[in-house]
Amino acid sequence: MTKTVLCLVPHPDDAEYYAGGTLVKMIAAGDRVLIAVATDGIKGSFELAGKELVNARHAEMINSAKVLGAESPIFLGYTDFELELLPPGTLRERFIYLIRKHRPDVVFTEDPFWLGETHPDHRAVAYAGMEALNYARLPRIYPQHLKQGLQPFIVAEKYYYSEEPARANKFIDITGTFDKKIASLAEHKSQIEFLVEGLLQEARMAGLDLKATLGEIADNKLALFQMGMRMQAAEIGAAHGFELAEFFHYERYHPLVESFLS
């Protein structure tokens, strides 16, 4: 059966970065994918700033979703790097609203139990996402939604992503979808420039000559980015019999319910 998949992410590019290969597989199977982006990405550049950067990241997200095969992105428009400054519960309410509006079978979001997360926006989305997934079912939570015709809803499948394989219990083979994942990420030109430049700054501080080690690829930021993504996916896949893989902490029903299904 066709599923509706909702991604609750902090920034443009996060859904594609952490789950792009898996999302491509779902879309190929006929699933409908929606990506809700919490922030405007206005802090994510060494070169661009202000409205120019916001416009760039907005356009890049739209283009990336098209390449991925997802529907038009949902932009919540909060300021990058300032989600923790929102009034308590603001992001939770927006996420619950989206869950009740779109009634997804599957939700992808940040793993709230990965202790190594350093970005405050990622942590904010992780906790708001977890709370929304647990409490979108309760009719007395945000009763104003009922007046808007939105009913409480239970999400059956939850995919929490992080950078910690020890948290993972589900590994997805993306060998056949990796190239499309990279093609969608390549639309985030400003972010690839930003991420790779940060890495190059550290390499220069460490006294490394990347050109001597890597050759001409050292001058091509997209190629460097793709190489890093492939190495990461290969490392994840190697331990699980896949050439390339993504991983998630996957949850479905309450453990008691699961015990009767297994």
pLDDT beyond 90 at 1? no
- Is 50 part of any domain? yes
- Is 239 part of any domain? yes
d(C-alpha 213, C-alpha 228), whole Å: 14
Note the pLDDT tens digit of each residue in 44-102: 999 999 999 999 999 999 999 999 999 999 999 999 999 999 999 999 999 999 999 99
d(C-alpha 101, C-alpha 121), whole Å: 23
- Is 17 part of any domain? yes
Structural domain total, the chain: 1
- Is 153 part of any domain? yes
Q: Which domain holds residue 111?
A: 4-257
> What CATH number is given to the structural domain containing 43?
3.40.50.10320
- Is 262 part of any domain? no
Note the pLDDT tens digit of each residue in 199-234: 999 999 999 888 888 888 888 999 999 999 999 999
Note the pLDDT tens digit of each residue in 20-35: 999 999 999 999 999 9
d(C-alpha 239, C-alpha 241), whole Å: 6
Find residue 245's DSSP bridge partners.
173
Mean pLDDT of the chain: 96
> What are the residues whose beta carbons fall under 8 Å from the beta carbon of 17, sequence distance 6 or more?
185
Phi, psi values for residue 4, rounded to 5°:
-100, 125
Phi, psi values for residue 122, rounded to 5°:
-65, -45
Percent above pLDDT 90 for the chain? 90
- Is 26 part of any domain? yes
Question: Are 2 and 144 in contact, with CB atoms under 8 Å apart?
Answer: no
- Is 169 part of any domain? yes
> What are the residues whose beta carbons fall under 8 Å from the beta carbon of 234, sequence distance 6 or more?
243, 244
pLDDT at 254: 86
- Is 58 part of any domain? yes
